């Protein structure tokens, strides 16, 4: 089994929910973001979601967009992001890492080259938000063949007619977007989320983690109580944007993971 499946098996055996933390690679600079990344597992993070900066991040709200701009201005590239993963893996062989981003940088590098480099670096899964299932032959199927999980986003507007198509080549887990909109928007509502999570669990047979609109330990606990896990991104990235010292950022992450693990 891969690291993602192993992590969810371990969490199930411990009767705990997954806490997934997102940071942008290279924000505010390469070394600081690597220092934060290295501290995430000890802060209670079960899966790391590492953003790949891109010039046209259509699914991201202002907080993540600005993080990407800072990273790009500092010279962050897909190659440097993969190098971050390699450096992280030198000390941590176990924590799953999912790259989240857009297809253009991967296409630019070449799918075959990217998948080879990502696998060798220690990447476990991909979330590519601008490739629909109709384009699975572009990246999804080659990624699965290379041993990388391909994780889909589902939303409140993914109805029963569309869901089987979205799920057909999904692996690892399903990322449920709790709100209609962009990252960092309104707070997620667990009562509204619960029925869709159950519907997607049934359709996919995979763990379902919920992201977008999760900002506080209390909200993380509430959302995790109705799902298999919770993702927090913008709230963590905002702390980095404020220039908080790394230990303070990681303390905040610990408070969120404590909330998720209480569920």
> What is the band of 163 on the pLDDT scale with cuts at 50, 70, 90?
very high
Average pLDDT estimate for 229-239: 96
Q: Hunting for tokens 């190659």 — which residue is that?
A: 79
Q: Cβ(188)–Cβ(181) under 8 Å? A: no
Rounded Cα distance between 10 and 151, Å, is 19
Q: What is the pLDDT of residues 167-180, one digit of tens each?
A: 999 999 999 998 75
Q: What is the pLDDT of residues 111-129, one digit of tens each?
A: 999 999 999 999 999 999 9
Using CA atoms, how far residue 192 sits from 155, 166, 187, 198, 223, in Å, is: 12, 21, 11, 11, 10
Active site residue 60: yes
Average pLDDT estimate for 78-104: 98
Instruction: Identify the pLDDT of residue 180.
Output: 59
Give the lowest-confidence range in 149-153, 186-190, 214-218, 230-234. Answer: 186-190
In the set 60, 149, 196, 228, the catalytic residue is 60
DSSP one-letter code for 29 = -
Q: Cβ contacts of residue 17 below 8 Å, gap of 6+?
A: 11, 224, 225, 227, 228, 229, 230, 260, 261, 263
> What is the band of 151 on the pLDDT scale with cuts at 50, 70, 90?
very high
Active site residue 160: no
Q: Which domains does the chain have, with CATH numbers?
A: 3-262 (3.20.20.70)
> What is the band of 159 on the pLDDT scale with cuts at 50, 70, 90?
very high
Q: Is 185's pLDDT higher than 60?
A: no
Percent of the chain with pLDDT strictly greater than 90: 91
Rounded Cα distance between 196 and 174, Å, is 12
Instruction: Identify the pLDDT of residue 58.
Output: 86
How far, in whole angstroms, is CA 140 from its chain's centroid? Answer: 16
In the set 27, 49, 149, 196, the catalytic residue is 49
Q: What is the pLDDT of residues 21-30, one digit of tens each?
A: 999 999 999 9
> What is the band of 77 on the pLDDT scale with cuts at 50, 70, 90?
very high
Q: Is 182's pLDDT higher than 70?
A: no
Q: Cβ contacts of residue 100 below 8 Å, gap of 6+?
A: 22, 49, 50, 51, 52, 126, 127, 128, 129
pTM comes to 0.96
Instruction: Identify the pLDDT of residue 186.
Output: 57
Tokens in use for 234? 């913008």
Average pLDDT estimate for 138-159: 96
Instruction: Identify the pLDDT of residue 135.
Output: 95
């Amino acid at each position: 089994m891969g690291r993602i499946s192993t992590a969810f098996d371990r969490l199930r055996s411990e009767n705990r929910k997954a806490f997934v933390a997102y940071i942008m690679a290279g924000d505010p600079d390469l070394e600081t973001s690597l220092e934060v990344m290295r501290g995430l597992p000890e802060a209670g993070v079960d899966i790391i979601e590492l953003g790949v900066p891109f010039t046209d991040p259509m699914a991201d709200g202002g907080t993540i967009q600005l993080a990407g701009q800072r990273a790009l201005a500092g010279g962050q590239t897909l190659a440097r992001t993969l190098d971050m993963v390699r450096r992280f893996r030198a000390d941590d062989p176990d924590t799953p890492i999912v790259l989240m981003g857009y297809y253009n940088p991967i296409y630019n590098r070449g799918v075959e080259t990217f998948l080879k480099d990502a696998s060798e670096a220690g990447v476990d899964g991909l979330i590519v938000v601008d490739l629909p299932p109709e384009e699975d032959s572009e990246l999804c199927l080659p990624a699965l063949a290379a041993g990388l999980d391909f994780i889909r986003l589902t939303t409140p507007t993914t109805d029963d007619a569309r869901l089987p198509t979205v799920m057909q080549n999904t692996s690892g887990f399903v990322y449920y977007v709790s709100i209609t909109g962009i990252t960092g928007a309104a707070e997620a509502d667990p009562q509204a989320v619960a029925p869709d999570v159950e519907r997607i669990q049934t359709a996919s047979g995979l763990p379902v983690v919920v992201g977008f609109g999760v900002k506080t330990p209390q909200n993380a606990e509430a959302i995790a109580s109705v799902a298999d896990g919770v993702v927090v991104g913008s709230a963590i990235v905002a702390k980095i944007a404020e220039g908080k010292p790394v230990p303070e950022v990681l303390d905040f992450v610990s408070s969120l993971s404590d909330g998720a693990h209480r569920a």
